Chain A
Amino acid sequence: MSRKNLAIKNESGPQPLRVEKAVGQSPEQLDKIIHDRTRLGIVSALAANEKLSFTELRNLLNTTDGNISVHARKLEDAGYLVCEKSFKGRTPLTEYSITTDGRAALGKYLDHMEALIAAMRGTER
């Protein structure tokens, strides 16, 4: 309902950016969960690997323990990745892997970015 109102408002108000019109999505529809740099990094890395450990992700993205755990939790809550806790000897081992939803979300995000670029190329001509 609110979205419909927004559309009407847009038509009467200032014209939306040409790029946005071409893409057919307003920035609000961008997947906020995946748009964050750390989270985008986590999802990208997991899309390319069967599973990665907490430490591997932290080293790969060159960030802190706290940062990874906060963002991984957010992705887990969104159902984009699953977390598997086990023990390797005596040290706890946390491993993450991407879910079908997560892969789909990354695919959608990639499409969105490509559409933005394609639309931009269109307006240049």
Chain B
Amino acid sequence: MGKLQAIKNHETNEPVRLSDRASDNLRFIRETMERSTHFTAVPGYGGMLMGVTAVAAAYIASQQIYMRDWLIVWLTEAALAFGIGMLAMWQKSKIAKVSLVSAPAKKFAFGFAPPLIAGIAITLGLWRYEHYEMMAPVWMLLYGASVVTGGAFSVRVVPVMGWCFIALGAVAFAFPPRYGTYLMGASFGVMHIVFGLIIARRYGG
């Protein structure tokens, strides 16, 4: 009886172990490839915090009488959000023990920067000609483009968020200019909070 048991073990358990090891190896290969090409330090909680500050900024901006003050509010918010983003990425990369100067991080930065820089240039141009009403849609469109191009080297949900920004930016042109502030609050505020929550829940922080 004991011997029979041994043979049975040999027949069934051994292959299970082998194939388990095989699928474990496959998983390891896939994960290594993903980690080496994907930038995973996109901050979820940081994104949520950026969203909260954007909602506050939208509220303050909606109280402004002069468009110049309205612009200053948003520029302050942009600088604040940039700082939060950088700090949160640094924090997350430290926790996840990935480098912020790795190949995927560089790809993310080089993908993210061009539309953002174009956005800054266009904002300066619009400011000069005092086309304040164009700013909100342009910001949403170009920030969205930044997130899509940078997010191409990140987890799937990141480019999805970028496309949502682009969609909302395009829609913003259809609304009267005074809705711009609310749409900014909805996109940079609510959307950041929602997607930040998804990223934080699913991708560790």
Contact = CB atoms under 8 A, between A and B. Distances in A.
Contacts of B35: 45, 60
Interface string A1-42: 000000000000000011100000000000000000100110
A113 B23 contact: yes
A40 B25 contact: yes
Contacts of B102: 56, 59-60
B174 interface: no
B169 to A, nearest CB: 33
Contact of A48 (B16, B26, B36, B99): B36
A117 interface: yes
Q: Is the interface of B mostly helix, strand, loop or mixed?
A: helix
B4 to A, nearest CB: 15
Contact of B23 (A45, A55, A61, A117): A117
B26 A19 contact: no
Interface residues of B, number: 24
B36 A113 contact: no
Interface string B51-70: 00000000000000000000
9 contacts: A17-B15, A17-B18, A44-B28, A44-B32, A44-B36, A45-B36, A55-B99, A56-B99, A116-B22
7 nearest A-B residue pairs (beta carbon):
A120-B19, A116-B22, A48-B33, A45-B36, A44-B32, A113-B22, A19-B15
Interface of A: 17-19, 37, 40-41, 44-45, 47-49, 52, 55-56, 59-62, 106, 109-110, 112-114, 116-117, 119-121, 123
Interface of B: 10-11, 14-16, 18-19, 22-23, 25-26, 28-29, 32-37, 97-99, 102-103
